[in-house]
Amino acid sequence: MQATAQAREIFDLLHDDLSAIEREFRADSVSAVPAITEIGEYLRAGGGKRIRPALLLLAARLFGYAGSAAIRLGAVVEIIHTATLVHDDIIDEAEVRRGRPSANTQWGNSKCVLAGDWLYMQAFKIAVQERNFRILDLLIELTQQMVEGELIQMETLGRRVTMEQYFDLIHRKTAFLFSVCMRLGAILGGATDEQEQRLGEFGRTVGMAFQIIDDVLDLTASEEILGKPVASDLREGKLTMAAIHALDRCTPAEAQQIEAVLRDRSFHRVSHRAIAEILERYGAIEAAYDEAVRYANQARTAICVFPDSEIKRALLWMPDFVVARTS
C-alpha cells in the first residue's frame, strides 16, 4: 500500500507534464491515412502506466530542466514503446492487450505492421527537431537493441535458455528503453557524463526489475488483472526467470512437463496447475521476486550521490513501485 501511495505522489507531481505528453502523443499519431490515425488512437487510448515518460521527466527535472523538449521526447519514447507492442502482438499472435482486443485482431496484421513502422518513423521525425545527435544516436541504438532482442526471442521460442540469456533478452527488450529515458532527461538537463551514466544505470536496473515482476505476474496474477490470459509467456514458448530457476533444479520428469508446454504452446498435455506446483516446489516465484528486489536496490544505489530533493525522493520511490505493483 505504501508503494502505491508513493507512486500516486510521483504521478501527481508529474500530472501536468504527463497530460501534455498525452496530448502530444495524440497529435503525433494523426496521419493523412485514416487507418493509421485510427490504429494510433486505439493504441494510445489503451493507456499503460506511462512509467517511461515519467522517468524521462524526473531525470530532466533533477537538473532543473522544465522546457518543452521533455514533453516532445516523452511522447517519442511512448510512441516507440507503443510501436514495439504492436509488432510484439503480431509476432506473438496475441489476441488481447490490456484487457482489450489487440490492434492486429481489429485491423489485421498487414495494416498493423505498417502502422507500427509509421509510428517508429514519426517518433524519429519528432526527435530530429531537437537537432541533437546524441539524442538521435541513443534512439537509434535503442531501436537496434529492441529489434535484436525480438529476433533473439524468436530464435529461442520453445527451447530452454540459460539465466544469462534471459537477462540479456530483458535488457534488450525492456531495460534499455528505461535506461534511454533516464539518459534523455539527463541530456536535456545538461548532466555530466558521469551523471548521465548513473541515471542510465538507474533506468536499466529499474527496467530489469520491472520486467522480472511483469514475468512473475504473468504466472501468478488473474486474467482480470493482467488483461490477458494467465501464463501467456509459456503458451507462447517463452521461458522467464521463474521457469528457468525451476528447470535448473527440478527432476528430469518435471523438466519434461515444462518443456512439453513450451513445445505444445498450450496446457493441453500438462495442466497449468501442474506447472504452478513445480514452480512452488523449487521456490521459483520467490527467487524471481528476490532478484527484482536486488535490481531495485541497485537502482537506488546508482543515484545515491545526487543531492536530496523532491525529485530525487520521487526517483528513489520508483523501484518500490515497480516491485510492489500487482498489474
Model confidence band, residue 5 (pLDDT cutoffs 50, 70, 90): low
Give kind and range of the element (H or E) at residue 254: helix 252-264
Q: What percent of the chain has pLDDT over 90?
A: 81
At residue 227, the pLDDT reads: 64
Per-domain boundaries in the chain: 2-324
Exposure pattern of 156-187 as b/e (b: 16+ CB <10 Å)? bbeeebeeebbbebbbbbbbbbbbbbbbbbbb
Q: What burial class does residue 193 get, using C-beta atoms within 10 Å of its C-beta: 0-12 exposed, 13-18 middle, 19+ buried?
A: exposed
The most confident of the ranges 1-15, 171-185, 216-230 is 171-185
Residue 294 has pLDDT above 90, yes or no: yes
- What 3-state DSSP class applies to 108? coil
Contact between 242 and 288 (Cβ < 8 Å)? yes
> Of all residues in the chain, what percent are helix, strand and coil, respectively (each to 5)?
75, 0, 25
pTM of this structure? 0.94
Residue-wise pLDDT for 168-207, tens only, equals 999 999 999 999 999 999 999 999 999 999 999 999 999 9
* Angle at the Cα of 52 from the Cα atoms of 191 and 193, rounded to 5 degrees: 20
Give kind and range of the element (H or E) at residue 315: helix 310-324
**What's the grid cell of residue 81?**
514503446
**What's the grid cell of residue 151?**
529476433
Residue 185: which of 19, 5, 21 has the closest Cα?
21
DSSP-H helix ranges across 221-251: 223-226, 232-235, 241-247
* 321 vs 305: CA distance, rounded Å: 21
* 279 vs 129: CA distance, rounded Å: 49
Residue 76 has pLDDT above 80, yes or no: yes
Fold of 2-324: Farnesyl Diphosphate Synthase (1.10.600)
Contact between 196 and 217 (Cβ < 8 Å)? no
Model confidence band, residue 275 (pLDDT cutoffs 50, 70, 90): very high
